[in-house]
Amino acid sequence: VKLPSGAKKVLPSANRAMIGIVAGGGRIDKPILKAGRAYHKYRVKRNSWPKVRGVAMNPVEHPHGGGNHQHIGKASTVS
């Protein structure tokens, strides 16, 4: 194998390696920016998106739901 420095290195034939760079590297560095792009991303991955908070729901949908303003209404931690 000829290295970028110009040196030659002999490797055993039993060695295995990948050549090149990882495909799609840096893909997550770019911000999504739009809800539509996030929708298509999570639709493929089958994740639950968007995640709706319990306090934003109606009382029939979640124990934290309902009320005149968004608050849990009782202790959220139980010891």
- d(CA 59, CA 71) in angstroms, rounded, equals 12
At 2 the three-state DSSP class reads strand
Residue 53, domain extent: 31-79
23 domain-assigned: no
This prediction has a pTM of: 0.55
What the block records as the tokens of 25 is 């590297």
1 neighbors 9 (Cβ within 8 angstroms)? yes
14 domain-assigned: no
16 domain-assigned: no
72 domain-assigned: yes
How confident is the prediction along the chain (79 residues), in pLDDT tens digits per residue?
Answer: 899 899 999 999 898 888 888 888 888 999 999 999 999 999 998 888 899 999 999 999 999 999 999 999 888 887 7
CATH number, position 64: 4.10.950.10
44 domain-assigned: yes
26 domain-assigned: no
State residue 20's pLDDT score.
84
Nearest to 64, CA basis, from 72, 52, 74, 56: 72
Number of domains making up the chain = 1
